[in-house]
Structure 1
Amino acid sequence: MNALEVKDIHTYYGKSHILDGVSLVVGEGELVTLLGRNGAGKSTTLRSIIGLTPARSGAIHILGKDTTRWPPYRIAAMGVGFVPEGRRIFANLTVDENLKVPVERSGPWTIPAVYKLFPRLEERKSNKGRQLSGGEQEMLAIARTLLLNPRLLLLDEPSQGLAPLIVQEVFRVVKATRDAGTSVLLIEQNVRAAVEIADRAYVLDDGGIVYEGSAAAFGQDEERMRALAGASAEKWDEAEMK
């Protein structure tokens, strides 16, 4: 059984046709990245999957169930974690208090476990959310979602606005989450970082999928990577991402 199957979805904002027949699959225990330039429709794809901006046609199956018309709360309750763009932590609560907000679900991810994964957060567990750096806020947003012990994790631009060294730290955590058995769909503009850790990649352009295949193979095709996804010129040390 696949963790996620998106089949030929069409999504609109009013009369604007944003997603034009998008299809993608995330297998169980797989890390898949969806790449593309600003405005390609990446975040809309996530919003359609989680039910925030329902698709007008097509089908979405999550963990074997047809969730195409389900509301977001019902999708979340079945074991889907969503880390939205912009982090959205509680600024006036401490790190520890933020981590106590989610309703506990059985599984390997507990507060001690996420502190082990994010030692930086444990060092700052008495700091309020507003006192954290952007990278620390992103770590907190991911850690809080992991406490739901999701079977499928959706991440929307976790590297946005972060310094390269912090991006590497965040992406190590995303990879560790996959290695622990969680299926992951990663929406990213930082192409080089994403293809280092992903199993497979899709590229979205103007509301449609224009590439599907091995993330490693896509990362080796410099010309196509730049043309389709607007890759940055940054170089990533592959050894450091393992």
Structure 2
Amino acid sequence: MTLPSVTVTRYVTPLREGGSLPGIVEADDLGTYVCKFRGAGQGPRVLVAEVIAAGIARRLGLRTPDLVVLDLDPDLARYEADEEVQDLLTASAGANLGIDFLPGSFGFDGASDVDPTEAATVIWLDAFIANVDRSWRNPNLLRWQDDLWVIDHGASLYFHHSWPGGVGDPERFARQPWDASDHVLGSALGKVADVDADLRARLTDDVLTEVVAEVPDVWLEPVPGADSPEELRAAYVSFFAARVRSRAWLPEVAS
């Protein structure tokens, strides 16, 4: 399964909340998207993390916006007055990541109740993918149509940022603990153990293979020991499968 592909027709406005300068764009399917640019920040691996994390979230029963590949013509940069945006558009020609824009959504502020099982599932997801960016300072949760939505997972999968030197050891990632002390939904930490068995049973090797297959080839940069998209996908699956087999990373309630 691959992500649908659409063409950007208009760059609307930047979103300056984060350092990577995502932007709102319109596309030829009449959709509006938050565009994460391949030419920004840490490059395509952030987009890979977004796709994989969103795919895992869906299979755990969490809501996350639909994703598309946004084909960007760098000529759009000619119509932008902001030089920083011009440079970003020029550096991001081709395939970028589009995240469905949820009109009328608002950021989670902790004022509304969250179902304890859903909250525990979000914590489990973040621990599994080693996401370090779901704190009170930056919840990366939305409320839309009275439902909770998880967004912005580019800060997860830290392990693949070391891959330019070669694919590392999946078992090391499997053993790596995760710190839940700053999590925005930390009050549900005591329920994580209750959802653990069900959630890890959902992430079979076949399911993980399906998730990783959604990543476009163009974002899978060759590294020593994994020169092709197929080898890189197999490496991701091996890392996640090792994590599924381990309990060392599972957060526990502080005594």
TM-score by length of 1: 0.29
Determine which structure has more spread, i.e. the larger CA radius of gyration: 2
The structure that is helix-richer by fraction is 2
TM-score by length of 2: 0.28
Q: Relative contact order, CA 8 A, sep 6+: which one is greater?
A: 1
The structure that is strand-richer by fraction is 1
